[in-house]
Amino acid sequence: MTNTTETSVSPFDELVTDLRVHRTMYTDPQIFVTEMNRVYGGTWTYLAHESEIPEPNDFVRRKLGLRPIIVTRDRNGEIHGLINRCTHRGATVCRTDSGNARSFMCPYHNWTFNNTGKLTGVPMHKGYGASFNRDELGLGRLRVDSYRGFIFGTLNQEISDLATHLGSVTDYIDQWLDRWPGAELVVRHGETRLNCKGNWKLIYDNSADGYHPGFSHASLLRMRKERYGVGVDMQWALGDTDAGKQTVTDLGNGNTFLDQRAEIDSYWDSAAPMPGQNPYANAVRAKLDDAAAKAALDVVVGSGMNLNIFPNLLIIGNQIQVIEPLAVADTDIVWYSTSLRAPDLPDEINSLRVRLQEDFPAFGEPDDLANFEECQVGLGIEEMEWVVTNRHIDTDTETLDANGNLTGLITDELPIRAFWRYWKKLMTSDTKLVAR
């Protein structure tokens, strides 16, 4: 990596620009270690959804970069993000993915912490003498905030509150959640976990990339077209996508948005059929009038929205995808299906929504994983240094939306440029990260 003696110049200024990115940003183990601290610790990072811990004393295990985290709801309903590391000798205190517990006992020496992080029990504590202070030895605590059920955590005590940080992202979260007015989102249907031998940033690069679907997923799209006819899910990708109405937008702070909605008349009719869907659909039509049944079936399938919240949360269609970095060239990609809880929404809608977990994660995501892994192979070639990120940067097709956000054609690489600008800001920050 290039070094400089000029303190006013970032070491990344020559390696990360709007036009290109140096390959070592994806392959350098030291850069990976640094970004696990400064990126994943230095901004609001998605941890879990409130519906995963619905009851007092519920918890789930998650990660903040490489740090093991416990997300808890205490007996009063308050949510906490705790670092899963005993303050005695460093062992993890929680070794179960989810459950209900008022406290966590370290199996090594039985130090015990309640689910707010406070140290409550130390066997034979007199051996530590009169100076021993339990109040100084609680579990590390993240700063935690949530927006409409999405829980985020950070070690940055200086960053603005979550809603301010997200900015206009909250408008799109609202639009996504309010497709069925009054419904409550539920994320309690297990997960589909896939592993990629590639850098985590390759997945985010792809999250708002409208340039690749017609090529990477061509076999899937052609099979659907031949089997089900025209107009079926994602068929727009097989044409000249630059001539369409779909867009990508830079929402600030590395957050981006891909919007397909301008070209969708009926979500249900344009979706690829699911096995066994007809009895469910007929049951919905029998329970609701025509307009309500159409609206209900439309919330089964994709929303026409890809909302990408830096650095690890991707809201795709009706599913949530979370990026979990493991090593510089090793990443887990976790898909969560979602359901809706509302008194006026038939149960059959959620049965169909959960079946979506059998669709793209099984038939489309393998295409992407193959490309990510082959990118990682190619990025290891030292003589070929650069990744090009300048598509549509000088075609005069970018405009500002009503909120002043830069918007371009769906194949514009502005989302990649937006990601790298915020990444570089965090990587060069001198903010001190603190576990409270």
Range 45-147 classified under CATH 2.102.10.10: yes
Chain-centre distance of CA 228, in angstroms? 31
Q: Domain ranges in the chain?
A: 45-147, 167-428
Residue 257: partners with Cβ closer than 8 Å, 6 or more residues away? 169, 172, 208, 248, 249, 251, 305, 306, 307, 308
DSSP category for residue 95: -
Three-state DSSP class for 111?
coil
Which tokens in the block code for residue 193? Answer: 């976990």
Q: Of 2-11, 70-79, 211-220, 260-269, where does mean pLDDT reach its minimum?
A: 2-11
Residue 393: partners with Cβ closer than 8 Å, 6 or more residues away? 18, 19, 413, 414, 417
Instruction: Using a pLDDT cut of 90, give the percent of the chain over it.
Output: 82
What band does 234 get if pLDDT is binned at 50, 70 and 90? Answer: low
**Distance separating alpha carbons of residues 356 and 363, to the nearest angstrom:** 11
What band does 233 get if pLDDT is binned at 50, 70 and 90? Answer: low
The arithmetic mean of pLDDT across residues 127-145, rounded, is 96
Helix, strand and coil content of the chain, in percent to the nearest 5, comes to: 30, 25, 45
Q: Of 21-35, 219-233, 342-356, where does mean pLDDT reach its minimum?
A: 219-233
Work out the mean pLDDT of the chain and round it to a whole number.
93
- pTM tops 0.75, yes or no: yes
Q: Of 2-11, 59-68, 228-237, where does mean pLDDT reach its minimum?
A: 2-11
Q: What is the pLDDT of residues 259-314, one digit of tens each?
A: 999 988 889 988 878 888 999 999 999 999 999 999 999 999 889 999 999 999 99
The arithmetic mean of pLDDT across residues 125-140, rounded, is 95
Residue 212 confidence (pLDDT):
86
Q: What is the pLDDT of residues 107-119, one digit of tens each?
A: 999 999 999 999 9
* pLDDT at residue 241 is higher than 90: no
* pLDDT at residue 359 is higher than 80: no
* pLDDT at residue 204 is higher than 50: yes
Residue 238 confidence (pLDDT):
67
Which tokens in the block code for residue 396? Answer: 């005069």
* pLDDT at residue 221 is higher than 50: yes
**Distance separating alpha carbons of residues 376 and 189, to the nearest angstrom:** 32
What band does 230 get if pLDDT is binned at 50, 70 and 90? Answer: low
Please state which CATH number belongs to domain 167-428.
3.90.380.10
Residue 120 confidence (pLDDT):
98
Chain-centre distance of CA 373, in angstroms? 20
Q: Of 48-57, 146-155, 240-249, 410-419, where does mean pLDDT reach its minimum?
A: 240-249
Site of tokens 């009063």: 76
The arithmetic mean of pLDDT across residues 130-148, rounded, is 97
What band does 425 get if pLDDT is binned at 50, 70 and 90? Answer: very high
Q: What is the pLDDT of residues 316-331, one digit of tens each?
A: 989 999 999 999 999 9
Residue 1 confidence (pLDDT):
45
Residue 288 confidence (pLDDT):
97
The arithmetic mean of pLDDT across residues 378-403, rounded, is 97
**358 vs 31: which has the higher pLDDT:** 31
**168 vs 230: which has the higher pLDDT:** 168
Which tokens in the block code for residue 418? Answer: 């937006």
Site of tokens 């993240």: 142
What band does 9 get if pLDDT is binned at 50, 70 and 90? Answer: low
**Distance separating alpha carbons of residues 421 and 252, to the nearest angstrom:** 9
* pLDDT at residue 236 is higher than 70: no
Instruction: Using a pLDDT cut of 70, give the percent of the chain over it.
Output: 96
CA–CA–CA angle 155, 116, 46 (5° rounding): 40
Residue 364 confidence (pLDDT):
82
Residue 222 confidence (pLDDT):
79
Q: Do the domains 167-428 and 45-147 match in fold?
A: no
Residue 360 confidence (pLDDT):
78
Residue 3 confidence (pLDDT):
45
